[in-house]
Structures are given as structure tokens and as C-alpha cells.
């Protein structure tokens, strides 16, 4: 596969060059690169983390310049796409959400708070992965049809870039809404969940939805902003027609009340 590339690729000793090049994150990146603007002269793989038989994380350094041969930064940490889910639980006329509290070494915090999230499995099935994460982390079973897509109406159906200065990671956001009793809400708070085989140590925390903006996690804040704009508490605005994304075949439009078929 390396022979099909338009530039030379190398790797540190003991790394599988063929596995890195064939991995879905690298292939997706190759397909997305604007070759009219970026001139990639070489790529050197510095590290590969395997998740069982699959390539997990990749770090590489590219020798890259623009059309005028001016240097451009070329260090990339590659981990592919993921999903985030904003649970909206209604109880007694008030809205709440569920945060996962877990160790996140990169932040230095053992009790980092964020909405449920997870990496894509390579299938491209965003909704299926979102439903799986809810089942594993919140022990809530829903169907894909119950998820509301927050990303497509905002114009980024593959998700938004988390930190484009260094990583290819994108996050596509969903929400779901559910009426719960006070007893159900209390039973979630403090519950320990997660997949132990994957090193997850998760505790659930119930917080008022309108307090979520102070959470120090980017995807959580973006999910809240998109929810407030598209779904919750703004019925007049959620029915706005947007010719860039509205379609009578778009299930999210029906969920938000868009009158696409009349346009």
C-alpha cells in the first residue's frame, strides 16, 4: 500500500508501517488532504498504539510546505472520530443531565466531568456507537431512532474538530430526552459504571442542565449550545428553514419541526 502513495513514508524501528498506512484514520486523512494547497514531501511514523488487533492511536511527522514552498507545521496525533451524547432528563418540571466522572490523565484530574462519549469503531455507524456508550456508561438502553442529531443541522455531519492544530479527532454530537421519576434520577447519581476491561472507572453525576456551561470540557459546552439552539427552549427558532441542511428526508428536520416539504 505504501507504493500507492505520492510521497515516501518511513517509521521508527519495530513499528508496522503497512498497518499504519492501511489504518482507517490515516486513510481518511489522506482522502481529506487538500493536495492543491498542501505539498507533502514525506511522512515519518513515530509511534503506534494498538487496541488489540486494531490500530488505535498514531503519531507522525510530515515534511510539508505550501504552494510557495514555505514551511508548515506537520506533527499530527491521529485518533479518528468519536461521538458525544447529551442526556436530557426531565423530572418535576426541571431538566437535568448526566455527567461521567472519571480519571483523565491528560488533564491531570482523577475526577474529570464530561458528557458520555466514545471512539468510533471504524464502521462509520455514529448512532450505533452513541447508543452503545449510553448502555455501557449510563446503563440506559435506547434505539438509534431515539437519538437527536445535533451536528448535522449545524453543518458538520462528520463532527467538529477538537484541536485542529495537532489532531485529526472529530466529535459528532447527539442528545436524547427522557422523562424520569425522582427515584430514577436519584438512583443514577453516584452509580459506578464503565467497562472494566477497558480500564474505565466511571461515576455518574446528576447536574441541572442549565449549570452545564461551567463544565471544563469542550464537547460538553458545544453540545449544550447546540441543544439550546436547535432543540430545547426555543421552539420558534428550531422551526427555522435552513436550505443548507433541510430536507424532507432528513429525520433530524422532522424531529425539530422543520417544514422542509413546503419549501
- Cβ atoms of 161 and 172 within 8 Å: the answer is no
Q: Is the pLDDT of residue 210 over 80?
A: yes
Condensed to tens digits (0 to 9), the pLDDT of residues 56-101 reads 999 999 999 999 999 999 999 999 899 999 999 999 999 999 999 9
Of the CA atoms within 13 Å of residue 149, those in its CB half-sphere come to 24
Residues 6+ apart with CB under 8 A from 247: 253, 260
Q: Phi/psi at 176 (nearest 5 deg)?
A: -145, 150
Whether residues 97 and 211 fall in one domain: yes
Whether residues 135 and 218 fall in one domain: yes
Residue 179 belongs to some domain of the structure? yes
Residue 240 belongs to some domain of the structure? no
Whether residues 35 and 162 fall in one domain: no
For residue 9, give its domain range: 2-78
How many other C-beta atoms are found inside a 10 Å radius of the C-beta of residue 109?
13
Condensed to tens digits (0 to 9), the pLDDT of residues 162-177 reads 999 999 999 999 999 9
pTM score of the predicted model: 0.82
Q: Is the pLDDT of residue 241 over 80?
A: no
- Cβ atoms of 119 and 132 within 8 Å: the answer is no
Domain count, the chain: 2
Q: Is the pLDDT of residue 107 over 80?
A: yes
Residue 140 belongs to some domain of the structure? yes
Residue where a domain terminates, one of 78, 101, 129 = 78
Condensed to tens digits (0 to 9), the pLDDT of residues 124-163 reads 677 777 788 788 877 888 888 888 999 999 999 889 999 9
CATH number of the domain bearing residue 144: 3.90.79.10
Amino acid at each position: 500500500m505504501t507504493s500507492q502513495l505520492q510521497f515516501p513514508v518511513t517509521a521508527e524501528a519495530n513499528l508496522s508501517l503497512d498497518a499504519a498506512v492501511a489504518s482507517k484514520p490515516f486513510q481518511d486523512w489522506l482522502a481529506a488532504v487538500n493536495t492543491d494547497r498542501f505539498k507533502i514531501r514525506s511522512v515519518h511514523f513515530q509511534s503506534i498504539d494498538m487496541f488489540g488487533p486494531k490500530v488505535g492511536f498514531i503519531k507522525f511527522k510530515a515534511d510539508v510546505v505550501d504552494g510557495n514552498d514555505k514551511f508548515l507545521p506537520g506533527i499530527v496525533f491521529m485518533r479518528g472520530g468519536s461521538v458525544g451524547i447529551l442526556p436530557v432528563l426531565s423530572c418535576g418540571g426541571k431538566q437535568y443531565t448526566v455527567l461521567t466522572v472519571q480519571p483523565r490523565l491528560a488533564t491531570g484530574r482523577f475526577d474529570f466531568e464530561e458528557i458520555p462519549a466514545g471512539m468510533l469503531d471504524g464502521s462509520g455507524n455514529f448512532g450505533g456507537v452513541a447508543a452503545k456508550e449510553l448502555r455501557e456508561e449510563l446503563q440506559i438502553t435506547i434505539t438509534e431512532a431515539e437519538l437527536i442529531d445535533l451536528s448535522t443541522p449545524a453543518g458538520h455531519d462528520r463532527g467538529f474538530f477538537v484541536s485542529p492544530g495537532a489532531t485529526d479527532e472529530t466529535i459528532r454530537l447527539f442528545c436524547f430526552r427522557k422523562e424520569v421519576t425522582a427515584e430514577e434520577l436519584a438512583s443514577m447519581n453516584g452509580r459506578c459504571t464503565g467497562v472494566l476491561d477497558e480500564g474505565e472507572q466511571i461515576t455518574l453525576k446528576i447536574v441541572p442542565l442549565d449549570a452545564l456551561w461551567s463544565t471544563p470540557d469542550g464537547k460538553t459546552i458545544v453540545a449544550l449550545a447546540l441543544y439550546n439552539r436547535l432543540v430545547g427552549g426555543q421552539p420558534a427558532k428550531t422551526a427555522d428553514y435552513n436550505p443548507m441542511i433541510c430536507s424532507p428526508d432528513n429525520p433530524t428536520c422532522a424531529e425539530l419541526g422543520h417544514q422542509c416539504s413546503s419549501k
